[in-house]
Amino acid sequence: MSENVVHVDGFFMRFGDVEVIKGLSFDVYAGETFGFLGSNGSGKTTTVRALLGIYTPTAGVLNVYGAPFRPGVSGALGYLPEERGLYKKESVIDTMSYFGRLKGMSAAAARKFSLDYLERVELADKAGVKLEKLSGGQQQKVQLGVTIMNDPKLLILDEPTKGFDPVNRRLLMGIIEERKAAGATIIMITHQMDEVERLCDRILLLKDGVSRAYGTVVEVQEEFGGTVVRAQVDGTLPESSSYRIISQTNGNVEIDPLGADTTDLLTSLVSSGVRVRSFEPTRRSLDSIFVEVYGEDAIQD
């Protein structure tokens, strides 16, 4: 097994009479991308803040590289919070250069990285512009640049592509993949299940301060039903005791065959008069698992 970069064991967090985290335990291993998932209010941010020493845990162990986190001691760490924390009255290049100096880079190195990065994310023409003049998505690009600029060994990214269009999401996902290829360990907090399926090695589903699933993506898919069928049918697929409809939208259905042979399921559907346009046995989507665990409202959040 790889080195533990993050180790959480028996973590409890109480605010007054409210217990927010209830005996949480998990590990994040060197070089992996770990999906830390949950709906709003599930306890993700509380866990990250306790891990970074912002909150003092009620009980439990939270270690980064074998010890409680201390800036400058626990190894280079880059944290991208969901709430942006930049100096909006300053220019983009001055802000990035300033943070680079705080992270131990020389003035020349910080400025060079900043200009190269802005070129990469198509913001080179905004270098001299005050941050308050940028759109939310543009500010998020700058924030990510600040997060990765000192080549941190551990990245904690909270909703890194929130509010991005598909083109910019792909751009940012490419940058994150590059950091992993360079050896970084990444913790991703996101609601975008396609990003999780593409990038994450292992995941934890947190609900009401309790782990609801933990393991590799495939292990979690197996835990929630293993093989399913994604099909496209004319009209609406009727309910049946021989299968379970996981989701159904505009003729696109995801079906749990309840352990039956998928070929027999297809034969049964066709013989019952269902017009099947496509039929693909596959693993259950993380989207449908997310909905099952957290409910439809979590997707809207």
Q: Where are the alpha helices (DSSP H) in the chain?
A: 44-51, 92-102, 107-120, 136-148, 166-181, 193-199, 217-223, 262-271, 286-294, 296-300
* H or E, element range at 29: strand 18-29
Dump pLDDT digits (tens) for 12-68: 999 999 999 999 999 999 999 999 998 888 999 999 999 999 999 999 999 999 999
Q: Between residues 143 and 85, which one has the greater pLDDT?
A: 143
Confidence category of residue 258, pLDDT binned at 50, 70, 90: confident
Q: Name the residue with tokens 């439990």.
A: 60
Grade residue 137 by pLDDT with cuts at 50, 70 and 90: confident
> Residue 145, SS3?
helix
Which residue ranges make up each domain of the chain? Answer: 4-221, 227-283
Mean pLDDT of 199-214: 94
CATH number of 4-221: 3.40.50.300
Mapping DSSP to helix (H, G, I), strand (E, B) and coil, where does residue 240 land?
strand
Phi first, then psi: give them for residue 14, nearest 5 degrees. -125, 135
